[in-house]
């Protein structure tokens, strides 16, 4: 699939470019041991690092990255990102902006980020510096980077018909979930994990297993219980985006 990313001409050499999500896997996953001792099992067991669905979800699609360093100090956001004059006068210049609390009032999103936080969480918006054009018939699902609970924000999931809406960028709203966070959110931090999805009507069919399906279940279940690596060796299509 071809995905076209475009930006203001003055920014083409200043922005981190979107990357395949598998190129943005976190360092903690790379450092994580493949096995760990389990008191429950009384032996060494595999960690999620050896779970292909867990890792493949983190590597699926592409990532939109933070365009510059953002310094955060207990709810205060600062950045030093001098930009040249842009060709587009209505184009954003700051890496993020904010939503008012009323925009999430009445939803679970308004719950405090932590019991100590007191008020509603800060609703922020990561501004877009790339337009995204998909092929006809495809929409763009943008969501929080998979399994990235270490990030101090939670991106809100959205679906955009990016085969038609691509003249301007797609902004990415999020909740700042760590009110006590103080430190640097570095340039290149993954902000949104994006997945092209085809627009089509789903036909859901539910039925009991027949004799063929029952036998396949018995055989595969027995193989899965007999040892590790069955899914990885026989079913996984490694490298698919």
Domain with residue 120: its CATH number is 2.70.40.10
Each residue's pLDDT tens digit, 111-170: 765 555 556 678 999 999 999 999 999 999 999 999 999 999 999 999 999 999 999 999
H helices of 80-235, where?
211-226, 230-234
Whether 239 is in a domain gets the answer no
Average pLDDT over residues 171-178: 94
Q: What is the pLDDT of residue 101?
A: 81
Counted domains in the chain: 1
Q: Are 141 and 157 in contact (CB under 8 A)?
A: yes
What is the reported pLDDT for 105?
Answer: 83
- The SS3 of residue 239 is coil
Rounded average pLDDT over 220-236: 91
| CA distance to 21, 101, 102, 104, 217, per residue, from 107 (Å) | 30, 11, 10, 6, 41
Q: Report, as an integer, the average pLDDT of 188-215.
A: 97
Average pLDDT of the chain to the nearest whole number: 92
Main-chain phi, psi angles of 21, to 5 degrees: -60, -30
Residues 163-184, mean pLDDT to the nearest whole number: 94
User: Looking at 2-11, 148-157, 227-236, which range is the least confident one?
Assistant: 227-236
Instruction: Provide the domain limits for residue 136.
Output: 4-234
Query: Quick check: is 26 in a domain?
Result: yes
Please tell me the distance from the alpha carbon of residue 162 to that of residue 166, in angstroms, as a whole number: 6
């Amino acid at each position: 699939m071809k995905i076209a990313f475009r930006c203001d001409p003055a920014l083409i050499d200043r922005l981190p470019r979107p990357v395949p999500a598998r190129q943005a896997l976190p360092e903690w996953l790379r450092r994580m041991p493949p096995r760990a001792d389990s008191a429950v099992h009384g032996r060494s067991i595999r960690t999620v690092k050896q779970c292909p669905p867990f890792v493949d979800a983190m590597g699926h699609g592409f990532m939109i990255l933070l365009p510059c360093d953002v310094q955060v100090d207990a709810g205060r956001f600062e950045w030093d990102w001098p930009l040249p004059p842009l060709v587009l006068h209505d184009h954003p210049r700051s890496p993020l902006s904010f939503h008012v609390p009323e925009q999430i009032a009445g939803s679970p999103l308004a719950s405090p980020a932590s019991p100590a936080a007191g008020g509603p969480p800060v609703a922020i918006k990561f501004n877009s510096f790339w337009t995204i054009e998909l092929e006809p018939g495809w929409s763009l699902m943008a969501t929080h980077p998979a399994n990235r609970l270490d990030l101090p924000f939670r991106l809100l999931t959205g679906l955009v018909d990016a085969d038609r809406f691509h003249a301007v960028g797609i902004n990415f709203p999020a909740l700042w979930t760590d009110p006590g966070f103080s430190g640097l959110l570095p340039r290149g931090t993954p902000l949104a994990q994006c997945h092209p999805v085809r627009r089509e009507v789903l036909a859901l069919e539910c039925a009991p297993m027949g004799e063929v399906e029952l036998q396949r279940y018995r055989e595969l279940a027995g193989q899965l219980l007999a040892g590790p690596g069955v899914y990885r060796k026989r079913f996984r299509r490694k490298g698919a985006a």
